[in-house]
Structure 1
Amino acid sequence: MERYYVNQRQQANGDHEVHKATCQYLPVNRTDLGYHAGCQTAVVAARRMYPTANGCYYCSYVCHTT
């Protein structure tokens, strides 16, 4: 299980990216989503706060949508 965070700041396209704690692009302004078996459940948790949450292209590619 890995710890995930969601970026509190919107990207230019309106998304709030979900990152693993080990991501090189982990934002400073973030909300802890806790531990998850994969990015899928982390994104579900993030969407409770930000309906446009999306996986990070680099660390959560499986959950990344364009």
Structure 2
Amino acid sequence: MSLYYVNINPQKNGDHEVHTSECDFLPNFINRKYLGVFTKCKSAIAEAKKTYRQSNGCKTCTQECHTS
């Protein structure tokens, strides 16, 4: 299980990236929203999409959920 966060600032393509707490690319505290503890990134992405419809997994820490 991991702690997940979503970047409140969108990427150039509009995606709000979802990261684990261990990610090298985890945004600064003021630029992220805590999503919760999940066993799989798909659940974290679903939670992020409640706030940011265009959410996507980080290419580094949630590679299996990275689609764009």
Category of TM-score, reference length = shorter chain:
over 0.9
Equivalences, count: 66
Shift, 1:56, TM fit: 0.1
Aligned residues: CA RMSD = 0.4
Cα distance per residue 1:33-64 (max 9 Å; x no partner): 01000100000000000000000000001000
Shift, 1:25, TM fit: 0.2
Task: For 1:1-66, list aligned pairs within 5 A.
Answer: 1-28=1-28, 29-66=31-68
Indicate the percent of aligned positions where both proteins have the same amino acid.
47
Q: TM-score, normalised by structure 2?
A: 0.95
Q: Which stretches in structure 2 are left out of the alignment for 5+ residues?
A: none
Cα distance per residue 1:6-33 (max 9 Å; x no partner): 0000000000000000000000110000
